[in-house]
Structure 1
């Protein structure tokens, strides 16, 4: 039995991002607690090291999690979403890196690239269109209707 893919729209994707932001904020805030409530560091080196570590964690979070069996971040997993390529398959590490790098384009002019997810037929934000990815509801069995000239999701 074939069902049409259900795409993750703007509001559920926004909710997932808010969850991710809360998680990352908490993780990033904890290393600074000793500096906030204790003695200030004697040099800038610890601050730079913490920021560098946090940047690496954020990269891993948004690049590595989409290529795992979860196919998305913790926020997406909690809300029943996953990120797939144009064939409905898990992203490769290369595609995930490109998707992450293209986030900045989506946010470039008043976040219009993100808002596009609320108005496109397949609920794609600009960065999804750029790298041919989709955010789909993972709690539905699905076989997509093929786009002309493209293979259907499996």
Structure 2
């Protein structure tokens, strides 16, 4: 990989990709949830955390599996693809391993729990890594569009 073609994907690019992914996930899951539970799924103030088993599958299991599958086969979710970003191994720049990507997904919990500090960390880190990236040994890179500093991997 020619590292001069890539730069680290910063906070706002990644936030934009997340917004795209959230909208796409909603457009896919909302019709199924409304079909099964009706509009009260979104409007009932007295409902619990989960409306039932289908809610857990549609709202939690499906998105988790879909994201990890996109990461493994495309190195990115549709949102990251839209901004020309991808997830790679932080040391080599090669595609991250499935174990790294699964770990990265669940490391989001560690990034989110302390008031999203691990996510916000992307804005201040030299390599634009969130805590989940650091824990998984990954970085998010995108095609160069400005005069930013190119990506440097240890083996390069």
Distance (Å, rounded) in 2 between the aligned partners of 1:85 and 1:115: 21
- Equivalent pair of 2:33/2:58 in contact (CA under 8 Å): no
- Equivalent pair of 1:83/1:91 in contact (CA under 8 Å): yes
Query: Displacement, 1:84?
Result: 0.3
Q: Deviations over 1:28-63 (max 9, x none)?
A: 11112233259xxxxxxx941342244332112221
Match of 2:76 in 1: 72
Q: Secondary structure at the match of 2:127?
A: coil
1:91 counterpart (85, 89, 96): 96
Distance (Å, rounded) in 2 between the aligned partners of 1:23 and 1:145: 32
Match of 1:151 in 2: 155
Distance (Å, rounded) in 2 between the aligned partners of 1:98 and 1:77: 21
| TM score, norm. by length of structure 2 | 0.79
The count of corresponding residues between Structure 1 and Structure 2 is: 140
**Any residues of structure 2 matched to 1:126-145 within 5 Å, and which?**
126-138=131-143, 144-145=151-152
1:22 paired with 2:23, answer yes
Q: Secondary structure at the match of 1:100?
A: helix
- Equivalent pair of 1:99/1:128 in contact (CA under 8 Å): yes
- Root-mean-square deviation over aligned CA pairs: 2.5
**More divergent stretch after superposition (52-61 vs 6-15):** 52-61
| TM score, norm. by length of structure 1 | 0.80
- Equivalent pair of 1:83/1:134 in contact (CA under 8 Å): yes
Runs of at least 5 residues in structure 1 that lack an aligned partner in the other structure: 39-45
Distance (Å, rounded) in 2 between the aligned partners of 1:137 and 1:26: 26
Runs of at least 5 residues in structure 2 that lack an aligned partner in the other structure: 41-50
- Equivalent pair of 1:71/1:90 in contact (CA under 8 Å): yes
- Equivalent pair of 2:88/2:95 in contact (CA under 8 Å): yes
Query: Displacement, 1:19?
Result: 0.6
Distance (Å, rounded) in 1 between the aligned partners of 2:21 and 2:3: 32
